[in-house]
Structure 1
Amino acid sequence: MSPPLQPLFAQRVARLRTHMAETGLDAWLVFAPEHLRYLFNYSGEAACGLIGTRGSWLVTDYRFIEQAEEECMHHEWRRGVATELLCRDRQRERLGQVLRRLLADIGAARLGYEAGHVSVAQWTEISADLHDFDLLPATDFLVQARRVKDAWEQQQMRQAAALADAALEALRPDIRLGQSERQMATRLEQLLQSLGSEGLSFPTILGFGPRSALPHSAPSDRPLQRGDLVVLDFGAVVNGYRSDMTRSHVAGPALPWQQRMYDTVSRAQQAALALLKPGISGSVLSEASSSVLAASEFAAHAGPGLGHGVGLVLHEQPFMNSGCASVLRAGEVVTVEPGLYIRGQGGVRIEDDALLLDTGHEILSRAHRDFELPL
């Protein structure tokens, strides 16, 4: 794993500290795995982070301390970030007791915590130990900060998309009639990891025939039959950053209605992509795409929503639908994925990752779009 350069981490922490000062916080308690990765480069489990006005701490236990030392203390960026690692003895000291000691040492009184990323049971125990501190649910500052990817993050996402492209291309010779959804998904996942993906961006979505109309179809033992519509949605991971791509096919020659369905979804995607640039809102993009679907013979089968942001989390802001007033900015990566789903017959979805540039966008997922599989 290759972490970003030290200045990038220092800049992220500095921006958070500026926000803390503006909102009157002395410290910020981090629980979200994506924020532990974003601020500390930590990819393990059972940890929380604390950002103070001058220092930062990562608290974990014996199972992950060596991993934390490797990831969080990288010699190229350790200086200036001042992360101290604490190995908590879970048998003798509660997490709240560790935090209480740290907060007392740095003279903190007002603590922001990620309320959406800690269980009620865990926070009840922690807050009991911190009863005399001012505990405030944190804002979504880090969620919003992660939306715009820096140059290093953009490169990770290009690589993740390229790995997914390569895996799909390698899968093509293995696709055959009689193969089950589960067999095809397993083979694709093997290819992803053999090509260098850290794992799966999310559990592979794959449906044949009528099951392709399930937007999030989990692979089953259903075999591929001639004439089936096929929807395949998957992604790779590079340094924690994810890709997300969907391709739709038909097993053999397409029937006229299947081809019209595919062409409709393709036009809907292109209508949104033609407008995709900084300064446009998610609702405008969603309307451009949905208007194409609504004007088609398949209007009753259109899936709502157009896409979402992607990065360290598969589904992150902005969520592009009719109610999305959020304006896109250069550096964001979003999916554009209109779909049609006819219950009992099949579905079609086409999805690509797009990076917002200063004057337009760059499509990151470049895998083939052949509709008909030569089976």
Structure 2
Amino acid sequence: MKEIYQQRQNQCRAQLVEQGLDALLVLGFENLRYLSGFSGHAAYGIITPEQNYLITDYRYAEQAVNECRDFEVITRDREKETLGACIKRHLGSTKSLGFDAAFINVAMWQGVCKDLGNITTLPITGLIERQRMVKDHWEIKQTKLAAAIADQALSELMPYFVEGATERDVALELEYRMQKLGSEGLAFDTIMLFAERSSLPHGIPGEQKLKNGDFITLDFGAVINGYRSDMTRSYILGEASKKQTDLYNTVAQAQQAAIDILKPGLPAVEAYKAAREVLNASEYGQWAGDGLGHGVGLFLHEAPIIGPNCDYVLETGNIITIEPGIYIPDFGGVRLEDDLLITEDDFQVLTHAPKPFVI
């Protein structure tokens, strides 16, 4: 593991040189974990050509010392030293400092800048996130473990889809089973929607009771060592109508059309186009969601975001979702989502839960 973190840090330093920066202030939680291994909160990282620092406080000091790889841990006394003063104290002769602009508010940054004095600061977005798009073998292993937990939890959940069950109760049962199987928590708030409420792409589970003939849409994920899985399945309880069946088949065909062409070197927008062609050719195209998928890792929605304006070319080591959906208000919706690893030749599906439409 030490070599993996050193490689990440060296790659980050090389990007700083390309940008003409002396140092980088890392503010994003996922970015800091990626570079240092620290899984706590209330921490800030400094990358310089000679040294890495992680600034935290007494609450996380012991954890940081135990977890950090090649980072010197600085325990700041928040009552006696401002964050900006602490940062400046460890910048040495630094004249230009890049910072994770997407992860700090204006008021806080103004306070830091006041203490930095004459150091030139430059907002940086996407520098570390671009590194994180290509997963190493350890990251891939964690994601596979998270996906396997989600698969198993869903398998155990199936008997709970019965008439009278509420969205909230079934969602809680799913979350319990994932954590019982070893998930560190939830990859995101579980989506569990029945009947016409399944047309809400990111609806919140409520007291809706399941009835025979209802749509069921569930979107959920597990977490291992910070790495997330993300899977969606759509079902019908009992007998499906012709419209429900047509809707499901359209989404399934759109997903498969995109998956079939995945490989390194493919412009990601081509996968979007393949799915969209199927959706638009159906009578339900006007209700199709705008996007197709996204990267997944330490953060749920990582780059690349796969949609009509995506300019990214897929690389070996990307882990992405493919998740077309159709959402018809007051009727219901269908979304199917899987996690896929781009391999040297094509792809590998990481989420293996079956997709029976009628249960």
Does residue 1:110 correspond to 2:122, yes or no? no
Quick check: 1:26–1:111 contact (8 Å CA) kept in 2?
Answer: yes
* SS class of match (1:58): strand
Quick check: 2:264–2:343 contact (8 Å CA) kept in 1?
Answer: yes
Mapping of 1:221-240 within 5 angstroms? 221-240=207-226
Aligned length: 359
One-letter code of the match for 1:24?
A: G
Residue by residue over 1:309-361, the C-alpha shift from the partner in whole angstroms, topping out at 9 and shown as x without a partner, is 11111001111111112111010001000111110010000000000001100
* SS class of match (2:90): helix
Residue by residue over 1:12-63, the C-alpha shift from the partner in whole angstroms, topping out at 9 and shown as x without a partner, is 1111111112222111100000111101111111110001111111001111
Does residue 1:195 correspond to 2:181, yes or no? yes
Structure 1 position 131, deviation (Å): 2.1
C-alpha distance in structure 2 between counterparts of 1:22 and 1:258, whole Å: 53
What does residue 327 of structure 2 align with? 341
Residue by residue over 1:258-317, the C-alpha shift from the partner in whole angstroms, topping out at 9 and shown as x without a partner, is 111111110000100111111111211111001101111212211111111111110011
15, 19, 24: which one pairs with 1:23? 19
Mapping of 1:1-375 within 5 angstroms? 5-72=1-68, 78=69, 81=70, 83-103=71-91, 106-373=92-359
What does residue 75 of structure 1 align with? none
One-letter code of the match for 2:228?
A: R
C-alpha distance in structure 2 between counterparts of 1:299 and 1:25, whole Å: 47
* SS class of match (2:8): helix
* SS class of match (2:316): coil
Residue by residue over 1:1-20, the C-alpha shift from the partner in whole angstroms, topping out at 9 and shown as x without a partner, is xxxx1000000111111111
C-alpha distance in structure 2 between counterparts of 1:265 and 1:138, whole Å: 38
Structure 1 position 139, deviation (Å): 4.5
C-alpha distance in structure 1 between counterparts of 2:334 and 2:48, whole Å: 49
* SS class of match (2:279): helix
One-letter code of the match for 1:126?
A: V
Quick check: 1:213–1:348 contact (8 Å CA) kept in 2?
Answer: yes
Quick check: 2:146–2:224 contact (8 Å CA) kept in 1?
Answer: yes
Structure 1 position 203, deviation (Å): 0.2
Structure 1 position 140, deviation (Å): 2.0
C-alpha distance in structure 2 between counterparts of 1:184 and 1:42, whole Å: 34
* SS class of match (1:8): helix
One-letter code of the match for 1:254?
A: A
Quick check: 2:102–2:125 contact (8 Å CA) kept in 1?
Answer: no
* SS class of match (1:372): coil
Q: Which segments of 5 or more consecutive residues in structure 1 lack a partner in the other structure?
A: 73-77
C-alpha distance in structure 2 between counterparts of 1:143 and 1:254, whole Å: 43
C-alpha distance in structure 2 between counterparts of 1:40 and 1:341, whole Å: 41
C-alpha distance in structure 2 between counterparts of 1:326 and 1:12, whole Å: 21
One-letter code of the match for 1:257?
A: K
C-alpha distance in structure 2 between counterparts of 1:196 and 1:97, whole Å: 41
Structure 1 position 148, deviation (Å): 0.2
Quick check: 1:113–1:137 contact (8 Å CA) kept in 2?
Answer: yes
One-letter code of the match for 1:371?
A: F
Quick check: 1:237–1:243 contact (8 Å CA) kept in 2?
Answer: yes
* SS class of match (1:202): coil
One-letter code of the match for 2:85?
A: Q
Quick check: 1:282–1:322 contact (8 Å CA) kept in 2?
Answer: no
C-alpha distance in structure 1 between counterparts of 2:20 and 2:334, whole Å: 50
* Structure 1 outlier segments of 4+, above 2 Å: none
* SS class of match (2:84): helix
- With the length of structure 2 as denominator, give the TM-score of the two structures: 0.98
C-alpha distance in structure 1 between counterparts of 2:142 and 2:272, whole Å: 27
Quick check: 2:228–2:299 contact (8 Å CA) kept in 1?
Answer: yes
Structure 1 position 223, deviation (Å): 0.7
* SS class of match (1:17): helix
C-alpha distance in structure 2 between counterparts of 1:94 and 1:41, whole Å: 25
- With the length of structure 1 as denominator, give the TM-score of the two structures: 0.94
One-letter code of the match for 2:10?
A: A
C-alpha distance in structure 2 between counterparts of 1:107 and 1:133, whole Å: 9
Q: CA RMSD in A?
A: 0.9
Structure 1 position 102, deviation (Å): 0.9
